[in-house]
Chains A and B, each alone.
Chain A
Amino acid sequence: MIPHALIIAFLLPLESLGLLFFARGFFPYKPVFHGYAPIESDAPAAVYDKVIFMVVDALRSDFVFSNESSMWFTQSLISSGNALPFTARAAPPTVTLPRIKGVTTGSVSNFLDAVLNIAESDSSSSLVGQDSWLIEFKRRPVPGKLVMFGDDTWLKLFPGIFDRYDGTSSFFVSDFTEVDNNVTRHLDTELKTSDWDVMILHYLGVDHIGHKGGPYSPFMPDKQKEMDQIVEMLYEYAEKLQETEGKSTLLVLCGDHGMNEIGNHGGSSAGETAAALLFASPLFSKLGSGLRAPLNATDNYEYYNVIEQVDIVPSISGLVGNPFPMNNIGVFVPELLRFWSRSDQIKLLRQNAEQMYRILKEAFTSMDMPVTDAQTLLAGNDIDKIRGLWDQIGQPYFDETDDPVETLYAFLRLSQKVLSRTSSNYDISSMVIGLCLVSWLSSLAFRRALFSTSADFVTKAVFAVGTTIYAISIFGSSLVEEEHYFWYWSASAWLMVQFILSARVKSTAAGLILISLLGVLSILRHYHHTGQKYAGSYDIAQFLSSDIAAGLLWGLILLEHLLIFKNLHFYVFADVSPLIAFVCSFAPVISLFSFKMSMALEAGEKVPPVLAAITPTSTGADQLLNRAKTSFLSIVICMVFHILSTVWSTKRDQFKLIRGTFHIAVLLLVVQTSSVNIPIFLLYEAIHSLSRRLAADYRATTPLAIVLSTLIWQRVSFFAAGNSNSLATVDLSNAYNGVSGYSMIPVGILAFVSNFAGPIFFTLSGTLQLSTWKTSSKSMRSVEDIFTVDFLSLIHAFHAVSLLAVMGACMVLRSHLFIWTVFSPKLLYTVGWFLLQQGAVDTIVGLFIVVVSDLL
């Protein structure tokens, strides 16, 4: 029936297979030791009996150390010498799960952990069987007692290890107070009981405030004060315990990662990787640090000494007298060595070095080769240098050499650097197979798009040139980070090309439409300033979410709802009696509105009092869940009604079904959009109706031109909604709408819909424009021909070529500095575009129309 659709059905799975091969080879498998470190018989004596490990999510260095911080007590600890401050560099991906893995096992997480963090899969991310400084407490002759309060990621990572715990979920990033009170309420009893050896606290409030209002949110100073008071409480506890029972307690305060200028994290900018780290205890005063706090705020967020975040692991292990975890690549923090005598210092560092050498031997076979000439090795590459240094350390009189500590540190630091790099683990052959497969298939797809589609020289030329430029741009790291500029730039160029074409056919109406579209585009490009370079600069979204604009924001939201109401009334319920039509279209809109309203209230957003008064006051998460479910249900009912009424309708109308579906889909997309982004839909709707008018002017446009516009608007809307190619902008705040617990498929779909709302909108809008063109031009071309040949093959070809380009960039630049921070996230996004947007949404919608028009 559909030969062209069959070609897509042949290309898509094969391309996915190529992608699978590539991903298998590209995402590195790092050798992970299972099992535990051998007990050291000769370890230096422990300094501390107890550890309080206080993680404050997204605690950036300046939140504690700069003069803009409100953590005055903590700063006074630094000034009085009772605390040692550091800036701990967190390795990207800067999201919670891989970072907790980092600060417990001491290993550099592999990139897939970032994906698992989003997937929150229960079993795959657990650290059962992997060594960590927590497990080491359990392995003591008398197993230590561990308690944990806060983010439930810890419970997923360490199932069954905690003696007492209370996990809080971070589903609702809009909750600033409850998440932290849930942690703090345990402190009174726990500090009184005091039978534990390790207490882990993980506070989420700072992170939530950051996500909602950025690092300079008005909520931030109070939250910092709250955290400061907790530090004070814990420190006083440590002091008292020291005096009364002589037990020493180490208090570690750290952020798992930082945040960027708009409060997101996941990427690798200076702010995201600079986490605060503070070791505090009354014992530190005898080390005499001589540091002062606060310091003046700096742009690079580097305060005091900068160390790697994984260095926390050997430091804690050493201070409490446990062996270093097996997979640790952290280096013992030099400042903390001063607790021990010189010989103990060497002993400790030697253990650190031996432990790291075990990993080196696993990773590099050349480690085992006998050393003949240490001096030439020292002048060689990093691996040779490590071997040379190891040889020196192994010499019998090493302890009596000039500076054994210095040599050990040189060894440790170099090993750390080498082991953090992952480039040695690519499976190149698998990558090449994938790349060859995709390049063959995408060239087929590209040829088809240029030669099998309908005649339209200008569009094809623009498409070919544009796709080529895009493919080339992917090889530049900053062009990936700032991809939105490419799309705004090409959107304006494409509108201009169409403007010239409209002048050639002397269509003033088309010209005016195109100028209006340019106007809408220029609003869209300022809606969210995304990317890296200008991220966080003032934009429309920031204005709308400020308190003074609350009235305007909700006015616009109301307007969008009225528009949806009108469209439902007009396109879905047109055939029923006016009263029923009114009720039927009003019900889903009002349930949507009350859901968005209560979500905003829950999030502490400012809502105009008039509107807040008419919605029933929200009563927490359960209420929100029910409202979301009501919205989804009403969408399903609308859809069922629409399908039935189309089937039973006596009028033959090929496109009625898709028209109604489009407007019902908008309802769903708005459910999945945060309140500040809902006004964007007014702009989308403007583009949609302008484009349909343009499509009705069949002389000024062609099916291929409509498809190319669809491709461009999809990308423009994706970036205008605040997305980027960094994992930091993945928005999960709507991924749990109507879902009470984590289950992968619904949450995955909801997350996809909320992040790709714009592209989905324009897929449907594009198909409607094509149907308008078909109707107005009275073209003899079949629907099947337009949708499977022009629509599907052009879109497919673009995505196939861009997939090839991204894979090529990851292949060629695999040893590039930014491979894990820029190109790997880009690959993930491209997989999302290719498989979900193109492979699922675009293809299904296209084929759906063909099948339906066949049936009707």
Chain B
Amino acid sequence: MARIKSTPRQIATPSTPTSPTPVPYKQKTHYPENVITSSALLAFPIVTVVLSSLLPSDPVKILGYSLPPVALIQAVNILFTNPVPEPVAKSSGNKKKKKAKSTVSTTILGLVLSMLLTPFIHLIYVLFGAPVTVSLAATFLLSAHTALLALFPILCTYPLDGVTWTNIVALKAPVTPAYTAALGTIAGAWLGAVPIPLDWDREWQTWPVTVVFGAYVGNALGRLFGAVLGGKEKKL
């Protein structure tokens, strides 16, 4: 809670293109931390397999029922394994020392916020070509899953201010598993749309099965990538 509120929202101020504002972060540097991290890394491949095997039969039902468990797994994941880059106390008078992991309140707030942003993600899916008038429920649930996979962890990881989020969009934020997992989710969902127009006439080619599958696989790969790569003051 404190993390989200502590930094006032800043408007991205235009600066010269050649010198991006350096982001003052210091980072904890030990992952994979412990057994929990590696088990969390395993959790999503399992979820992926289970979901993708059940999904083609009734996407809306399966996506709906799996939403709470996925939220729970993500929350546990964030609470126990999510490393948070720690802002260096700035001159602005931000003195309170922060813990290096997400707190319960941050996690709950992040969960609520990411759920509230689901319609926004739905809109993005439509902009990228999701059906507008049909399969509304399926697209909405897909958006909810995407929110849990991509948005929820980074909401709990990065402070909510304009500069940080501009950097996140610009691929300049410090690398954390949450961040790479989000990028993996987006790339996976985008690539997941590829097989839909093929004339194989399989059940799983219906919207949004392949996109869900792509998002989960991308998420797992991204998380793995982040865990291996992250930990240093690294940027993409």
Residues of A near any B CB (own CB < 8 A): 476-479, 481-482, 485, 488-489, 492-493, 499-500, 503-508, 515, 518-519, 521-522, 525-526, 531-533, 538, 699
Whether A506 pairs with B197 at a CB distance below 8 angstroms is no
A-B contact pairs, 15 of them (CB 8 A): A489-B193, A489-B194, A492-B128, A492-B129, A493-B190, A504-B171, A506-B13, A506-B14, A506-B166, A518-B128, A522-B127, A522-B128, A531-B197, A533-B197, A533-B199
B91 part of interface (Cβ distance < 8 Å): no
Instruction: In the A-B complex, list the 9 residue pairs whose CB atoms are closest, starting with the nearest.
Output: A503-B170, A505-B17, A482-B197, A478-B199, A503-B169, A504-B170, A518-B127, A485-B197, A478-B198
In the bound complex, how far is the Cα of B169 from the Cα of A505, in angstroms?
A: 11
Cβ contact of B197, chosen from A479, A500, A505, A526, cutoff 8 A: A479
**What are the residues of chain A within 8 A of B167 when measuring CB–CB?**
503
Cβ contact of A504, chosen from B17, B129, B190, B197, cutoff 8 A: B17
In the bound complex, how far is the Cα of B199 from the Cα of A538, in angstroms?
A: 20
Interface membership of chain B positions 153-190, coded 1 if the CB is closer than 8 angstroms to chain A and 0 otherwise:
00000000000001101111000000000000000001
**What are the residues of chain A within 8 A of B194 when measuring CB–CB?**
489
B116 part of interface (Cβ distance < 8 Å): no
**What are the residues of chain B within 8 A of A508 when measuring CB–CB?**
12, 14
Cβ contact of A492, chosen from B127, B132, B199, cutoff 8 A: B127
**What are the residues of chain A within 8 A of B197 when measuring CB–CB?**
478-479, 482, 485, 531, 533
In the bound complex, how far is the Cα of B221 from the Cα of A454, in angstroms?
A: 35
Cβ contact of B17, chosen from A481, A506, A521, A525, cutoff 8 A: A506
Q: Which of B3-36 contact A (CB under 8 A)?
A: 12-15, 17, 20
Cβ contact of A506, chosen from B12, B128, B129, B199, cutoff 8 A: B12
B137 part of interface (Cβ distance < 8 Å): no
B126 part of interface (Cβ distance < 8 Å): yes
**What are the residues of chain B within 8 A of A531 when measuring CB–CB?**
197
Please name the residue on chain A nearest to B197 by beta carbon. A482
* B218–chain A nearest beta-carbon distance, Å: 14
Whether B199 pairs with A519 at a CB distance below 8 angstroms is no
In the bound complex, how far is the Cα of B214 from the Cα of A489, in angstroms?
A: 15
In the bound complex, how far is the Cα of B127 from the Cα of A519, in angstroms?
A: 6
**What are the residues of chain A within 8 A of B132 when measuring CB–CB?**
522, 526
Whether B166 pairs with A481 at a CB distance below 8 angstroms is no
The secondary-structure label for the interface of chain A is helix
* A588–chain B nearest beta-carbon distance, Å: 36
In the bound complex, how far is the Cα of B196 from the Cα of A499, in angstroms?
A: 26
Say yes or no: A479-B198 contact (C-beta < 8 A), given A489-B129, A492-B127: yes
Q: Which of B56-74 contact A (CB under 8 A)?
A: none
In the bound complex, how far is the Cα of B194 from the Cα of A477, in angstroms?
A: 14
**What are the residues of chain A within 8 A of B12 when measuring CB–CB?**
506, 508
* B158–chain A nearest beta-carbon distance, Å: 15
In the bound complex, how far is the Cα of B170 from the Cα of A485, in angstroms?
A: 27
**What are the residues of chain B within 8 A of A504 when measuring CB–CB?**
17, 20, 170-172
Whether B129 pairs with A476 at a CB distance below 8 angstroms is no
* B210–chain A nearest beta-carbon distance, Å: 13
**What are the residues of chain B within 8 A of A481 when measuring CB–CB?**
199
**Most B CB atoms within 10 A — which of A521, A522, A532?**
A522
In the bound complex, how far is the Cα of B127 from the Cα of A481, in angstroms?
A: 23
Contacts A503-B169, A526-B132 given; 19 further ones with Cβ under 8 A? Answer: A478-B200, A481-B199, A482-B197, A489-B193, A492-B127, A500-B171, A504-B171, A505-B17, A506-B14, A506-B17, A506-B20, A506-B170, A518-B127, A518-B128, A519-B127, A522-B126, A522-B132, A532-B199, A533-B197
* A674–chain B nearest beta-carbon distance, Å: 24
In the bound complex, how far is the Cα of B24 from the Cα of A411, in angstroms?
A: 83
Whether A499 pairs with B169 at a CB distance below 8 angstroms is yes
**What are the residues of chain B within 8 A of A500 when measuring CB–CB?**
169-171
In the bound complex, how far is the Cα of B197 from the Cα of A112, in angstroms?
A: 29
* A374–chain B nearest beta-carbon distance, Å: 41
Please name the residue on chain A nearest to B128 by beta carbon. A492
**What are the residues of chain B within 8 A of A505 when measuring CB–CB?**
17
Please name the residue on chain B nearest to A499 by beta carbon. B169
* A690–chain B nearest beta-carbon distance, Å: 14
* A813–chain B nearest beta-carbon distance, Å: 15
Say yes or no: A506-B193 contact (C-beta < 8 A), given A492-B128, A522-B129: no
* B133–chain A nearest beta-carbon distance, Å: 8
In the bound complex, how far is the Cα of B166 from the Cα of A531, in angstroms?
A: 38
**What are the residues of chain A within 8 A of B198 when measuring CB–CB?**
476, 478-479, 482
In the bound complex, how far is the Cα of B132 from the Cα of A814, in angstroms?
A: 39
In the bound complex, how far is the Cα of B199 from the Cα of A532, in angstroms?
A: 9
In the bound complex, how far is the Cα of B171 from the Cα of A505, in angstroms?
A: 12
Please name the residue on chain B nearest to A538 by beta carbon. B133
**What are the residues of chain B within 8 A of A499 when measuring CB–CB?**
169
* B186–chain A nearest beta-carbon distance, Å: 9
**What are the residues of chain B within 8 A of A525 when measuring CB–CB?**
129
**Most A CB atoms within 10 A — which of B15, B17, B126, B190?**
B17
**What are the residues of chain A within 8 A of B14 when measuring CB–CB?**
506-508
Please name the residue on chain B nearest to A509 by beta carbon. B14
Whether A699 pairs with B17 at a CB distance below 8 angstroms is yes
**What are the residues of chain B within 8 A of A507 when measuring CB–CB?**
14
* A539–chain B nearest beta-carbon distance, Å: 10
**What are the residues of chain B within 8 A of A478 when measuring CB–CB?**
197-200
Please name the residue on chain A nearest to B186 by beta carbon. A496
In the bound complex, how far is the Cα of B166 from the Cα of A489, in angstroms?
A: 24
**What are the residues of chain A within 8 A of B15 when measuring CB–CB?**
506
In the bound complex, how far is the Cα of B173 from the Cα of A604, in angstroms?
A: 60
**What are the residues of chain B within 8 A of A515 when measuring CB–CB?**
127
**What are the residues of chain A within 8 A of B200 when measuring CB–CB?**
478
**What are the residues of chain A within 8 A of B199 when measuring CB–CB?**
477-478, 481, 532-533
